[in-house]
Chain A
Amino acid sequence: MHAVFAIARTTIGEAIRRRVLLVILLIALLLLVVAPGMNVLTARQSQTVLTSLILGVLQLSSAVIAIVLTVYMLPNEVERRTIYTILSKPVLRWQFLLGKYLGAVGALGLMMAMMTGTMILVFALVQRGASTDLLTGLARVPIMFFVQMCLLAAVAVFFSTFVQPVVNFFLSGGVYLVGTVFGSLFSTISENQNLPMVAKIGSNLIMWLVPNFAQYNVQNSVINQGSVIVSEQVYYAQMVIYGIVYISILLLAGMLIFDRREV
């Protein structure tokens, strides 16, 4: 595992130096800081809007960072031929891929932590009367977003083993979209009596294969305070394990392909 962590550390350093990521991060931070400018509504509504906006900015920026960070990871190594230097050492391909992924996730985590910190700071300053529950919620939701983005990064890493970055960008974005939309639509489809059996089987297949990103969207209970959710922690734990399971599947599939690919 030493090799894996060494690669991960290097990847984090590379990610932090990449200007495109820093620009995205800067824009996100800027949006988080100016978001309270929307403070034009009634006290409660203002809080609702502000919370929804800053969490939305955080999630959206994280998704863009997760994809941009990972789609170029392998192709850049191949294009710059640095991959030969690494693979000529006693490093297995799966270790390389895992190291790159963990590095990407580490960098993503750092950036998300920075955004979350800014978000909570801005919120605490603007909404001085905000309850501890709300602030705790604001800190809790990004954890689910982080798992969601790790999953998205795994999707992008999987695709990066066999497609070009631009194609990968849209493919990963598409999977994210399908995984989000389908999670909401699945019950409607499965309960539709008029739908042919083939379509139902198809929808079940998609439900199995595509990770359900929607289940990480838990911000509603924080945005709209008041609803009581029992055993929320258990759900969070389940979703973390669910994320790890799908990340493992995607990385294993990626490793299989990358192992057999000519570079």
Chain B
Amino acid sequence: MRHKGRLKIGPTVGAMFGLLAAGATMQSLSLPFWREHYRPPSADLSNIAADQLLFAVAGFREMIAGILWVRADAYFNEGNYDAILPMIRVVTYLDPKQIDVYATGMWHIAYNFTDSESRADRRNIPIAVAFGKEGAKNNPHTYELFYETGWLWYHRIQDDFPNAVYWFDEAAKREDMLPARKNLLAHARLRNNDADGALKTFYQFYRDAETLYEKDKQRGSFANLQTIEGNLDNLLVRMSQRGFFAQKNGTYESGDYDTKPPYDVKFSVRVSVIEPRVLEVDGTWNVYPVGTRVKCILRDADYPGGREAGLEWDSGDANDFSAPRDRTYMQDELFVRNLQFRRTINMSRDPTIYPFRGDKYYLDFFYTPRIAPEHLKDKYGWNGEGFTDSNFLRTDVREGQRVVFYRMELTRDQLLRRREFAMEGGIIPTFKTDNYVPPTSRSGSSSVLTPAGEPEQTPAPGQ
């Protein structure tokens, strides 16, 4: 039926087009604001289940992220660590503002994947670094992920210290950083051989702490002030005793400082492959006080990003969390006691972490005074000026550092005890430094020692 009061087509359509133009204009004005402040970045959601994907694309990303994180927490409690990684990836794709998920994810990736002897699977560390960088980029308003990324470099990687300084410095620029945590920036500067910078940083923090205490005289502020004061005192004393000031004013040569003369640590080592994937390492280190840990690293010779005593740690890809699963990277520490170290490294129970698919391997021994405990650094100095080794001191391995470095080359057959190195009637692959001296407790051992890289053609015991 026709009725009166119909809307006229022409004016109505005209009004609609006018409104449409107005709407489009408004959208072009408001869309950039929304993108900047509310929209999660574009992400690869291919790992997410279909039902979750539907909800996620329909605008419920944060809700799905929350539910997945609760599920991930349940996996944590069950110890099902492998299942957590994809969850972490998806949650941070869905909601890149979830700082705790980034922080927990970095810690989880870098620390929790260990072999049966509690050695971390360090193939994951570049991923953790990349993940931290991504988190910091997505959350630049808070110090937290800058701090966590700095902590990875400072505590987990313990190498390439300019990176630790950079990330702690970025964290300290954020107003929400806890004062007590800022001290790590100064400590990172010390590890980076920048005692002057560390001193300036401590002075700055001291002034800040004083101001804070003036404003708010509570116990926390006072404790912070005292901690920084203590740190400053210690640093000034050490700078003096280690001859730092003397070096700057040119009187170091004539003075008597703790770091003079350089102390020879007399490193030596012997390595035997006693069973397939099992190394026995022993050697000497001419330092009585405890606290020395010599890094021992075994990896594929062609490991991606491999270098002397480590990797290019800042080379990971956080997009798919995939470490090179077909490569081997083992890192352990040789703890020195009574001038010697001895350790059995058993990689036989973890074939997924140590697949040994390549043909050639490097076994590196590395020590840098930069990460030595303070009581040892009192002798070595911050940069190893009071430290030497008559055989293995190197200054070309890490720029500007005096380190001990020694490399052995092993083959897959040796590590897996195959062919001429077979357990039954084969020879025991044994390597040593030229200066190796068997510890007295092991005198009379039947092991035959050979120069590094040349396994002795000796039948296995019992043959």
- A76 beta carbon closer than 8 Å to chain B: no
Which of B23, B35, B64, B139 has a CB less than 8 Å from the CB of A187? B35
Complex: A53 Cα to B42 Cα, angstroms? 22
- A164 beta carbon closer than 8 Å to chain B: no
Chain B residues within 8 Å of A45, by CB:
69, 98, 100-101
Is B7 a contact partner of A52 (Cβ separation < 8 A)? no
Task: Name, among B3, B19, B27, B66, the residue most crowded by chain A CB atoms within 10 Å (CB to CB).
Answer: B66
- Given the known inter-chain contacts A41-B70, A45-B69, A224-B99, please indicate yes or no for A207 contacting B27, CB distance below 8 A: yes
Which of A188, A220, A262 has a CB less than 8 Å from the CB of B97? A220
- B172 beta carbon closer than 8 Å to chain A: no
**Closest B residue by C-beta to A220:** B38
Chain B interface size range = 35 or more
- A10 beta carbon closer than 8 Å to chain B: no
- Given the known inter-chain contacts A52-B66, A180-B59, please indicate yes or no for A252 contacting B16, CB distance below 8 A: yes
Complex: A228 Cα to B176 Cα, angstroms? 13
Q: Give A135-173 as 1s and 0s: 1 = Cβ < 8 Å from B's Cβ atoms.
A: 000000000000000000000000000000000000000
Complex: A68 Cα to B38 Cα, angstroms? 28
Is A48 a contact partner of B60 (Cβ separation < 8 A)? no
Is B97 a contact partner of A224 (Cβ separation < 8 A)? yes
Is B16 a contact partner of A242 (Cβ separation < 8 A)? no
**Closest B residue by C-beta to A213:** B59
Is B95 a contact partner of A260 (Cβ separation < 8 A)? no
Is B97 a contact partner of A40 (Cβ separation < 8 A)? no
Complex: A250 Cα to B414 Cα, angstroms? 77
**Closest A residue by C-beta to B40:** A220
Q: Give B28-49 as 1s and 0s: 1 = Cβ < 8 Å from A's Cβ atoms.
A: 0111011101111010000000
- B57 beta carbon closer than 8 Å to chain A: yes
Chain A residues within 8 Å of B20, by CB:
208-209, 249
Is B142 a contact partner of A256 (Cβ separation < 8 A)? no
- B109 beta carbon closer than 8 Å to chain A: no
Chain A residues within 8 Å of B59, by CB:
59, 180, 213-214, 217
Which of A87-95, A107-115, A122-130, A195-203 lies at the interface with chain B?
Answer: A87-95
- B65 beta carbon closer than 8 Å to chain A: yes
Is A245 a contact partner of B19 (Cβ separation < 8 A)? yes
Is B60 a contact partner of A248 (Cβ separation < 8 A)? no
Chain A residues within 8 Å of B3, by CB:
87, 92-93, 259
- B5 beta carbon closer than 8 Å to chain A: yes
Report the minimal beta-carbon distance from B217 to chain A, rounded to whole angstroms.
24
By secondary structure, the B interface counts as helix
Report the minimal beta-carbon distance from B79 to chain A, rounded to whole angstroms.
16
Complex: A253 Cα to B16 Cα, angstroms? 8
Q: Give A211-243 as 1s and 0s: 1 = Cβ < 8 Å from B's Cβ atoms.
A: 111110111110110111100100100110110
- B215 beta carbon closer than 8 Å to chain A: no
Q: Among residues 83 to 132 in chain B, which have CB atoms less than 8 Å away from a CB atom of chain A? A: 95, 97-101
Report the minimal beta-carbon distance from A260 to chain B, rounded to whole angstroms.
7
- A255 beta carbon closer than 8 Å to chain B: yes
Complex: A55 Cα to B59 Cα, angstroms? 11
Is A228 a contact partner of B23 (Cβ separation < 8 A)? no
- Given the known inter-chain contacts A55-B63, A226-B141, A255-B12, please indicate yes or no for A48 contacting B100, CB distance below 8 A: yes
Chain B residues within 8 Å of A41, by CB:
69-70, 73, 100
- Given the known inter-chain contacts A41-B70, A184-B42, please indicate yes or no for A56 contacting B63, CB distance below 8 A: yes
- B290 beta carbon closer than 8 Å to chain A: no
Is B30 a contact partner of A220 (Cβ separation < 8 A)? no
- Given the known inter-chain contacts A52-B65, A227-B141, please indicate yes or no for A248 contacting B38, CB distance below 8 A: no
Which of A188, A208, A217, A246 has a CB less than 8 Å from the CB of B38? A217
Which of B24, B38, B142 has a CB less than 8 Å from the CB of A221? B38
Is A57 a contact partner of B63 (Cβ separation < 8 A)? yes
Complex: A238 Cα to B26 Cα, angstroms? 7
Which of B6, B23, B73 has a CB less than 8 Å from the CB of A40? B73
- Given the known inter-chain contacts A45-B100, A249-B16, please indicate yes or no for A215 contacting B34, CB distance below 8 A: yes
The list of the 3 closest CB pairs from A to B, nearest first, reads: A56-B63, A224-B97, A52-B66
Q: Can you give 25 contacting A-B residue pairs, CB < 8 Å?
A: A38-B66, A40-B73, A41-B69, A41-B70, A48-B98, A49-B69, A56-B63, A57-B63, A93-B3, A176-B58, A208-B24, A214-B59, A220-B38, A220-B62, A220-B95, A220-B97, A221-B38, A226-B142, A226-B176, A229-B37, A248-B19, A249-B20, A252-B7, A256-B9, A259-B3
* B residues lining the A interface (CB < 8 Å): 1, 3-7, 9, 12-13, 15-16, 19-20, 22-24, 26-27, 29-31, 33-35, 37-40, 42, 55, 57-60, 62-67, 69-70, 73-74, 95, 97-101, 139, 141-142, 176
Beyond known contacts A207-B27, A259-B7: 18 more, CB 8 A cutoff = A40-B73, A48-B98, A49-B66, A55-B63, A56-B62, A56-B63, A60-B60, A60-B63, A93-B3, A177-B57, A181-B57, A183-B31, A227-B37, A235-B33, A245-B19, A245-B26, A252-B16, A255-B12
